[in-house]
Structure 1
């Protein structure tokens, strides 16, 4: 494994591997455990590495009051109370054991975002392989410490967070001995405008915190995720639904199965296109070396003749002496006869060869 790599269920997440693709189910089960299972299966069939759910109840998130503080003023859920929204969106605790067993049965990794300590304990009892910390919870340092003490990998979104807040969240986890963390650049807008995706944050976060960085992508479409892969994102999270037309809290900015499959393929191709950071040339170029210029005799030359610009040219193909030796050859005495179309070699002008 490479330095700073993270392993979830034997899958390495690092700059040496294609990005780890996570399908976020969120509320797209639409209140049905059957649909939740169908969504997990559809995500697996689309080729994702993992599926993520969210673990909370309305009462662990907020309280049921209609005061203005608890009403959503704008955006996708404008006019709804927090309690009403979470009552529609939550994944019941009693589903979790069955969902984790089902994911294990069909061979896909399932983990979750817990939103309070009871959720953490439930997930830990189900041997969850990793925890996700949602953007809104990145400032809940007591919760982060509680999660970190479980010793599992932590995937942490950074939407809305300042540099100081990200640093404090990382320090909270590290203070209890958990350094197994991957940050997600995230714009906490639903959906997020592509023009505000600010993907340059990915290399900035990598540099600032010396840590792996992925993208939790709330934009519509796959462009942001593919571009993020091209600048070093090691994980991609996208909301996922079986069918947007069925509605649901998060459906409008979620990918459907064919779109998720396209994302998996496109990010793999983007990763492959990056290649190694070295000056070694691609093997695909080998056959085209013939089209480089090199030195050839363009007229017959006898032993003892002076090699001139008229007798030697820099032309294609590239099998002759490298063109950089042209000035060494011109004006030298030819040491062996040559015919028009012969390659120029070091033996034609220099008994000791070139250096």
Structure 2
């Protein structure tokens, strides 16, 4: 199994030791208006997202214009709608893509896309797309994965609905084309997804089993689940994004608004920084409060040769004296000199020393 590695998209390093890579998924939230698309790019950039993701398909490349019952959506936000009609509304026109890529370059934000058939890969290659995202339903389309992987561009693969075997097959297909720049996004393909079905423990398991960088394609409401995922090792977070849910749109109900995306960026950075590394020594910020720990102090005057007792030696704050664990060894010993009230107890103050005890 290959080890987890750092990869790059648009010059941005992505991996377990890098800040979380935040993707704003536009999907159909452009509502058929390229000006709104540009506004979404600008808002995502202002919020601090690293990338905006498109979806590259046409209704006739993802389904067929059929009225049969199996071509009707059952349940969820789009219940009762025909697939062809839904995709006709939601797709991002291909003629917009060059302008979207150009505007993103001007803004300094990365744009890439999910291709849904081989012609979409060819089209995106002509635009020099920096990465490819395989959407959850397409994870079983091994020929599509192989074609995208042959580009040599980083591959981001969502796992919604997939079995472990299907996920392994998809990753193996990409690696079989010599492409090991792979991110696997754990995903619950429900819209919106209930938090209790997020199963974020899967992140660590995927990383261990597959040796890939992992992330989360999150359809829960709000930012809580995504932020937790970062703390659990997600190097990439993808969330649907819109200018305002009240504006409507096929994905608006479970999309973040600009202020929420900005909060996700901030909270994800904090979560990543908070994970840190195993640490069992005082941190820099703890150094100033170390003195507040308890230690052994002289709490009543003691004459030279006098016996140390619980009446004249106690464990108190601050922490400038011997550690409290030595109290039992100290009691009953003789003072090597006069000891003043309020002095921190030191080995040199004890007749004969305590080298045998302190050494332990």
Q: TM-score, normalised by structure 2?
A: 0.95
8 Å CA contact retained: 2:24, 2:238: yes
> Deviating runs (4+, > 3 A) in structure 1?
350-354
Distance 2:238 2:104 in 1: 18
Distance 1:325 1:285 in 2: 24
Match of 1:252?
A: 253
Match of 1:88?
A: 89
8 Å CA contact retained: 2:4, 2:213: no
Shift of 1:286: 2.0
1:343 aligns with 2:353: no
8 Å CA contact retained: 2:4, 2:212: no
Structure 2 vs 1, CA of residues 281 and 247 (structure 1 numbering), >3 Å: closer, same or farther?
A: same
Match of 2:60?
A: 59
Distance 1:100 1:270 in 2: 31
Match of 2:322?
A: 321
Match of 1:280?
A: 281
Shift of 1:162: 0.3
**CA distances 1:277-336 after superposition (whole Å, capped 9, x unpaired):** 222333222222222110101122222222222221111111111112222222222222
8 Å CA contact retained: 1:156, 1:184: yes
1:180 aligns with 2:181: yes
SS at match of 1:207: helix
**CA distances 1:240-266 after superposition (whole Å, capped 9, x unpaired):** 011211211111111111111111111
SS at match of 1:321: coil
1:33 aligns with 2:46: no
SS at match of 1:306: coil
SS at match of 2:160: coil
Q: How does 1:166-245 map to 2 (within 5 A)?
A: 166-245=167-246
Distance 1:312 1:244 in 2: 67
8 Å CA contact retained: 1:307, 1:331: yes
Unaligned runs of 5+ in 2: none
Distance 1:120 1:84 in 2: 23
SS at match of 2:335: coil
Distance 2:280 2:7 in 1: 28
Question: RMSD over aligned Cα, in angstroms?
Answer: 1.5
8 Å CA contact retained: 1:336, 1:347: no
Distance 1:248 1:301 in 2: 82
**Bigger shift: 314-323 or 195-204?**
195-204
Match of 1:158?
A: 159
8 Å CA contact retained: 2:303, 2:335: yes
Shift of 1:119: 0.8
Distance 1:342 1:102 in 2: 70
1:141 aligns with 2:157: no
Shift of 1:118: 1.0
Distance 1:153 1:110 in 2: 13
Q: TM-score, normalised by structure 1?
A: 0.96
**CA distances 1:136-189 after superposition (whole Å, capped 9, x unpaired):** 000000110111110011111000000000000010001111111011110111
SS at match of 2:140: coil
Unaligned runs of 5+ in 1: none
Distance 1:338 1:278 in 2: 38
1:75 aligns with 2:45: no
User: How many residue pairs were aligned?
Assistant: 354
**CA distances 1:55-98 after superposition (whole Å, capped 9, x unpaired):** 11111101111111211122111111111111001111111111
Distance 2:169 2:282 in 1: 43
Distance 2:209 2:53 in 1: 27
**Bigger shift: 55-64 or 273-282?**
273-282
Distance 2:29 2:242 in 1: 6
Distance 1:160 1:74 in 2: 16
